[in-house]
Chain A
Amino acid sequence: MNVNKANEGMNDSNIAHTSITPPSATGELLVILGHAPHGSSLLREGLDMALVAAAFGRRVSLLFMGQGCWALQPGQGEGALGQKGTQSTLEMLEMYDIDNIMVEAESLERLGLESSDLVLSVSVVDAASVQQAIASHTLVMNF
């Protein structure tokens, strides 16, 4: 499968493991998560926002891009002072019926992350699918 135009000219040795699945559903709210856990609270507060929206009955989709992909790295824990990470929040998504969870292929590739080794079952999407997801949601918020 031709992954996407964004991968042109890149070493594509990892790409064979990714599956490109177009986002299945439209929804009301798309939360784009672009910041890493622990270094700032943007990821955590973005996820809180998604959970609250879902708790209020909104259809919520998540899209991890750039540094946000680090949220999907397995084996995360608390910080040395006991400060919370985000892995426990990710484990609650299913309970809140947030099941349209996407990650951008090029971001994974750049960070050396494998789609087969992530904490959640996610749809790996190309740039065109990112654009489609943005168009098909009523409200898009970047965290």
Chain B
Amino acid sequence: MHLHTLNQSPAQSQVYRQALAAMADDDCLLLIEEAVQGALPHLIGPFEGLAGRLYVLEEDLVARGLLERCDDNARVVDVEGFVSLTEQADKVLSWY
């Protein structure tokens, strides 16, 4: 399994397309920084195919006041969960 991190909002940047193209079937995607917007119901569209493999960083949601608006299909993880994902992944790729 590879972990892919994305830090750009899908409402602002199309770099998520590259992350998705680069993801194998068992890879995980973690939304951080501005990309946490991608966990909102209105913006989660591009990531809908990632059931169970879409994660979002809690503290970046909280800082933006978005935690309560997060879609149920995104799994909220704290920074320990972020590190834990990098432990499980063979490689970590950053899309920005």
Contact = CB atoms under 8 A, between A and B. Distances in A.
Interface of A: 6, 32, 34, 65-66, 104, 106-107, 110, 127, 130-131, 134-135, 139-140, 142
B63 interface: no
Contact of B14 (A6, A66, A135, A139): A66
B21 A65 contact: yes
A140 B18 contact: no
A142 B21 contact: no
Given A65-B21, A127-B21, A131-B23, A140 B93 contact: yes
B24 A131 contact: yes
Q: How large is the interface on B (under 10, 10 to 19, 20 to 34, 35 or more residues)?
A: 10 to 19
For the complex, would chain B's binding face be called helix, strand, loop or mixed by DSSP majority? mixed
Given A134-B22, A134-B91, 18 more contacts: A6-B21, A32-B18, A32-B22, A32-B93, A34-B15, A34-B18, A34-B95, A66-B15, A66-B18, A104-B18, A107-B17, A110-B17, A131-B23, A134-B2, A135-B2, A140-B91, A142-B93, A142-B96
13 contacts: A66-B14, A66-B18, A104-B21, A107-B17, A107-B18, A127-B21, A127-B22, A131-B24, A131-B27, A134-B22, A134-B91, A139-B91, A142-B95
Contacts of B88: none
Nearest to A139: B91
Nearest to A105: B21
B13 to A, nearest CB: 9
A134 B21 contact: no
A137 to B, nearest CB: 9
Contacts of B24: 131, 134-135
A134 B15 contact: no
A65 B18 contact: yes
A104 B17 CA distance: 11
Contacts of B2: 134-135
Given A140-B93, A142-B95, A106 B21 contact: yes
A134 B93 contact: yes
Contacts of B18: 32, 34, 65-66, 104, 107
Contacts of A131: 22-24, 27
A127 B27 CA distance: 14
